[in-house]
A and B are shown apart, each in its own frame.
Chain A
Amino acid sequence: MSYLSAKDLAVAYDDRLIVEGMNLEIEEGTVTTIIGPNGCGKSTLLKSLSRILNPRSGTVLLNGQDIHSMSTSAVARNMGMLSQQAENPDRITVEELVARGRYPHQRFLQPLSKKDHEAVEKALQLADMVSLRDNAVDELSGGQRQRAWIAMLLAQETPLMLLDEPTTYLDVAHEIEVMQLVTRLNQEEGRTIVMVLHDINQAASVSDRLIAMRDGRVIADGTPEQVVTMEVLSSLYGIHCDVYMHGHGPDVMLPRTRFCMPRSNSQCGSCLFAPASPGFQVSELKTGYGDHVISQDLTVQIPGGLVTAIIGPNACGKSTLLKTIGRLQKRGAGQILLDNSEVSKVSHRKLAQKLALLGQGSLIPDRLTVEDLVTAGCYPRQTILQRWSREDERMVEWALEKCNLLELRDMPVEMLSGGQRQRAWFAMSIVQDTPTLLLDEPTTFLDISAQIDLLDIVWQLNRDHGKTIVMVLHDLNLAARYADYIIAMKDGEVVAQGLPTKVIVPEVMLAVYGIHSSILTDENTGMPLMIPSRR
């Protein structure tokens, strides 16, 4: 008999069926990963398995018992769930947060017992959060915060763990750490794990079983070898994928871009020697928030007319560098030249005509439609008299079409999914029609095909319109493929910079992320492909 099972499960939000006809059997002691495009119902399925959502029909059985007939604390002692985008309580320390994981084990009004303290201690160690135990959760970086939540789940000490995108906001090194943690929990402690992942390669590397979902239904189910095939992936995401086999470890999947873009090194090299415009020249820059210095004495050149990617671990100062050169954040000292003129000497409006910046996370006002949001990008070139020129109208239509938003144009932004919202923000930045575009993790919340769509637009903006692109990317293989120039940062300093073939090499990966890796060549583009080694 299976450990966790779903029978004829259907889940709906209001009138929309998200998951239907779901039959699922999870064996004890296995790692199962659910994959699929944005909005396919993966997270919804996970939520209904953990009793966060009530199904419209069907049952969920845990050890043969209907979870809806069990008490809340009995369910919580048996399964723990890591949700996406949990809210961060104010002013509580990591240790206090982790201790909350013991709640289902505590008796009414009892303080933490010795056993509880041991569990908290062990959870902190497993998640590598011991050194941050007294820090406030709301002051941690995105990656650290994610690990704090994972630690809380570990303290719950449940035999079954449900993880909804546990690697969001984590860099390569921490992704690997979390994946290793999952393997360790499974192999050494025999815990059963069910998770949702966006990254198919990670999923394949740790899972015993993959379940591929599309439109609320399972379309493939089996071992990673059975599921990670060109046929399954292209029907799952509607995009062509290449699967690379290499000696040590599972196969690697890479989505193919709409543009085939073989590039020879000499071609790119010559661009670097004679860039179309001087780009950014940053010298002796000091960045940070208040007393907290992130970069001290940073000197870097970002060539004009090319696509540059900034890579590096969480909290290495990549986003801060981007925000500082985009003048969203004040610098401590130093000089930033854009096309030979000092950025701080330009008026706000003039700067907004020169560069657009797509940031991470923003407010969404009520009732604002997608079209309203995208139109806001016209602001820097509008005057009192020129409020809606033909150019504005043309740009907005073009951006809506490019970003596949035409059908969503009258939808309130608050109703969109994470991936759709990200596309709307990106459309707003390209409507600004500036010669330089700064993008801070533009592919967050996007599934692989949407990531490729967006980066293909970025590529076109550079190759067809000659725009300078500077972007922070977490995915190294996408960075290698789309960028002409890569800057690798660690602890606020530039560790390596140059062509992808010069930066994506094992030595740099070890220095920047502290991981061992092997590098293949992507046959379609001639660019490097990094595969972390598992030890």
Chain B
Amino acid sequence: MANLFSAIGMDETRTFRGSWFSHRINLRVMALIILCIAILILLMLYAITLGAVPLTIRQVWDATWGEGDSRTLLVVRTLRWPRIGAAVVIGAALALSGMLFQGIARNPLVSPDIIGIDAGATVVAVSWIILTRDTSGLPLVTFLGAIVTAMVIYLLSWRKGASPNRMILVGIGISSMAGAVTSFMLVKYPLEQIRPAVVWTMGSIYGSTWRDVVIPGAVILVTLPFAILLMQPLRAMSLGDNVTKSLGIPLESTRLAVIIIGCALASVAVAFAGPIGFIALMVPHMARMIAGPQSGGVLVLTGLLGGIMLLVSDTVALHFLPVSLPVGVVTSAVGAPYFLYLLYRSNSSM
């Protein structure tokens, strides 16, 4: 892309100025965002055509706007769209929270699932499923579990200010503690009681309803503008604490704001889909690799890529494998090798 712009003699950035505003837009990032939106829409329409009742893109398009027979309408508008929509919003929420956590920790190997937020939510969800055998209140309970875990991690890593490295170590500790409790619950109770819990821990958007699209979507809509505004101080923060302070950025309050937004996004994702691994870790890397260092535009791109990734994984999990699998299995199967590849690369460049 960079070559494309220089090849046609265009500057990569363009400045827009008026009497009361001035802004510099990175055209490459903008082009990538538009491209990703187009790919995402096409993928969604294509994914809806797949399934036990094969449809054409034309039928999907019409049914989306309310035209067609009642069976197609039911399949498209009540069964398939919510699932597709949930995949996109949850993927986006995961990727956005990963980007925020990696920025705050100044560490590219951090994500909410690695620092224990998912594990904390899992303990709560598994206990809730096993003990109450009721799944209706699950998203709310899981959300609370994730938020409480994040608070515990933040407080334990506070020592005259929250240190990013300490936060990662504390998070990993909390994560393995929570993992142990989860294992204990799964071993202690009889098989028929733990079965739904085991399925939940694999992470799945199976049987999503419009509620699963609207609530995460609303959280993204509310948090995204703040997250975009926070990207600029976050960029300065990547230069170290002293530089951040001498640039006049209130370090602790900015850090806290980023953590709150990151937790809200991660928590809503885990609440509605269970722990889905690796999206939050790898999508921000992909975004930075193709679009450059963190900025508001790259953040939006990260969200779009997250949506695309989870949608593709879910479609593969559902339609292209001999057996249908929960989507979390596919993202882990693809994500883990990618993670190792990243480690290998960062090692060799040192």
Contacts and interface: CB of A to CB of B under 8 A. Distances in A.
Interface of A: 323, 326-328, 347-353, 356-357, 359, 362-368, 372-373, 376-377, 379-380, 382, 384-390, 392-393, 429, 432
**Sorted from nearest, which 5 A-B pairs have the closest CB atoms?**
A352-B248, A388-B24, A363-B240, A365-B238, A357-B246
B243 A359 contact: yes
B13 to A, nearest CB: 9
A328 B246 contact: yes
Contact of A362 (B22, B235, B240): B240
Nearest to A363: B240
Interface in B237-283: 238-240, 242-243, 245-250
Nearest to A327: B245
A521 to B, nearest CB: 37
B293 A365 contact: yes
A356 B15 contact: no
A227 B242 CA distance: 42
A140 B62 CA distance: 73
A376 B295 CA distance: 12
Given A347-B248, A385-B20, A385-B23, 20 more contacts: A323-B242, A326-B246, A348-B245, A352-B246, A352-B248, A356-B246, A359-B242, A363-B239, A363-B243, A364-B239, A365-B106, A366-B293, A367-B292, A376-B239, A379-B248, A379-B249, A386-B22, A387-B23, A393-B15, A432-B247
A336 B38 CA distance: 57
Interface string B211-249: 000000000000000000100110110111011011111
A320 to B, nearest CB: 13
B21 interface: yes
B327 to A, nearest CB: 30
B17 A390 contact: yes
A359 B244 CA distance: 11
B347 to A, nearest CB: 14
Given A362-B239, A387-B22, A388-B23, A353 B247 contact: no
Contacts of A323: 242
Contacts of B21: 385-387
Contacts of A365: 106, 238-239, 293
A7 B22 CA distance: 60
17 contacts: A328-B246, A352-B249, A353-B248, A359-B246, A366-B108, A367-B288, A367-B292, A368-B293, A376-B239, A376-B243, A376-B247, A379-B236, A382-B232, A385-B20, A388-B24, A389-B17, A390-B17
Interface of B: 15, 17, 20-24, 106, 108, 229, 232-233, 235-236, 238-240, 242-243, 245-250, 288, 292-293
Given A362-B240, A365-B106, A390-B17, A328 B245 contact: yes
A348 B15 contact: no
Nearest to B247: A379
Nearest to A387: B23
A349 B245 CA distance: 9
Contacts of B15: 388, 393
Contact of B238 (A368, A386, A392): A368
Which of A328, A353, A356, A365 neighbours the largest number of chain B CB atoms within 10 Å of its CB? A365
A123 to B, nearest CB: 32
B69 to A, nearest CB: 50
Contacts of A359: 242-243, 246
B242 A328 contact: yes
A352 B236 CA distance: 13
A244 to B, nearest CB: 38
B288 A377 contact: no
A380 B250 CA distance: 11
A304 B24 CA distance: 36
A390 B24 CA distance: 11
Nearest to A383: B21
Contacts of B242: 323, 328, 357, 359, 362
A376 B292 CA distance: 16
A327 B242 CA distance: 10
B30 to A, nearest CB: 15
A352 B246 CA distance: 6
Contacts of A367: 288, 292-293
A390 B19 CA distance: 11
A279 B15 CA distance: 38
Which of B24, B232, B245, B292 neighbours the largest number of chain A CB atoms within 10 Å of its CB? B245
A390 B16 CA distance: 10
Contacts of B293: 365-368, 372
Contacts of A390: 17, 22
Contacts of B248: 347-353, 379-380
B1 to A, nearest CB: 15
Nearest to A364: B239
Contacts of B238: 363, 365, 368
A387 B24 contact: yes
Contacts of B243: 359, 362-363, 376
Given A363-B106, A389-B22, A390-B17, A373 B247 contact: no
A505 to B, nearest CB: 34
B169 to A, nearest CB: 14
B235 A376 contact: yes
Nearest to B103: A365
A179 B245 CA distance: 38
A104 to B, nearest CB: 26
Which of B17, B242, B246, B250 neighbours the largest number of chain A CB atoms within 10 Å of its CB? B246
A323 B243 CA distance: 11
Contacts of B108: 366
Contacts of B239: 362-365, 373, 376
Contacts of A353: 248
Contacts of B235: 376
Which of B17, B21, B239 neighbours the largest number of chain A CB atoms within 10 Å of its CB? B239
Contacts of A384: 229
B179 to A, nearest CB: 28
A320 B19 CA distance: 42
Contacts of A392: 22
A33 to B, nearest CB: 32
A222 to B, nearest CB: 41
Which of B229, B247, B250 neighbours the largest number of chain A CB atoms within 10 Å of its CB? B247
